[in-house]
Amino acid sequence: MADHDLFIEQLSRTIEPVKRPWQPGWRVVAWIVMALPCGALASLLVHRTFTDWSQTGAAWVILQLFLTFITGALAIRNAFLLSIAGQQSLSWKWFTPLVSLWLAISFANMQLHHHLPVQGSEVGTNCYLFMVVVSVPMMAIVIGYLRRTRTLFPARSLAAAGAGVACMALTLLALCHPTHVSALDFLMHLSATATIILGTMLLGYKWVSLPHH
């Protein structure tokens, strides 16, 4: 019994106090402050040209940039909320107007600029490559954040996190893309978004799931 008590005493001395995670809102802010600069630095690895804001339709691009940023921040917040028991995440009804408006602007943009000459497959390929490359550090950071608290719903948390990362990749892409969008560009944007979400889920599942005993 004495040995048992001694072991408990030694163990209690080595245990560090548990630090409570920040509130989800502050965690989102901290993630954005870390992730966006890292994504911007990663963009140096790919060929890109900065957006010419004097082009027709620049105002719509700014609106889309705002929409993707807000949607991304809310999606990341949902990922953090899902990782904490008892927290209520936002329903899909919050995201439907934002995504619908972004899609409407994209389709309108394609219709308004359908007369522009096709620039070849290179533009679409660069869009896809740009989004995937800039998402890698942002993906790693959000998985690290989720690993600290773990989650009862790893698939849902990681899907929300991946969607948030994809939105932030679109936000960065808006700064390095012509104001017009071709059908190929749009397809590459959607393909990159799906890749980022699936990649986040596959790479992060092991790290954010609760340990099995």
For the chain, give the mean pLDDT.
Answer: 86
Pick from 21, 38, 23, 39: nearest CA to 147:
21
Helix, coil or strand: residue 148: helix
The span from the CA of 213 to the CA of 210, in Å, is 9
Q: How many CB atoms lie within 10 A of CB 213?
A: 3
Helix 24-42 to helix 154-173 angle, to the nearest 10 degrees?
Answer: 50
pLDDT at 6: 64
**Confidence tier at 123 by pLDDT (50, 70, 90):** very low
**Confidence tier at 124 by pLDDT (50, 70, 90):** very low
CB-neighbour burial class of residue 192 (10 A; exposed 0-12, middle 13-18, buried 19+): buried
Q: Residue type at 110? A: M
- C-beta separation of 111 from 186 below 8 A: no
The span from the CA of 198 to the CA of 122, in Å, is 24
Residue 173 CA: distances (Å) to CA of 30, 88, 124, 133, 165: 21, 31, 12, 11, 12
pLDDT at 130: 96
The span from the CA of 167 to the CA of 32, in Å, is 12
pLDDT at 173 over 90: yes
pLDDT tens by residue, 65-97? 999 999 999 999 999 998 887 777 888 888 999
For the chain, give the percent of residues with pLDDT over 70.
Answer: 82
**Confidence tier at 116 by pLDDT (50, 70, 90):** low
Question: CA 198, 200, 201 angle in degrees (round to 5)?
Answer: 65
Helix, coil or strand: residue 138: helix
Q: How many CB atoms lie within 10 A of CB 105?
A: 17
- C-beta separation of 44 from 134 below 8 A: no
- C-beta separation of 132 from 45 below 8 A: no
Which residue is associated with the tokens 């080595």?
A: 14
**Confidence tier at 55 by pLDDT (50, 70, 90):** confident
User: Token pair for residue 69?
Assistant: 């940023």
pLDDT at 56: 81
Q: Considering only residues 211 and 132, tell me which one the structure prediction assigns the higher pLDDT.
A: 132
**Confidence tier at 119 by pLDDT (50, 70, 90):** very low
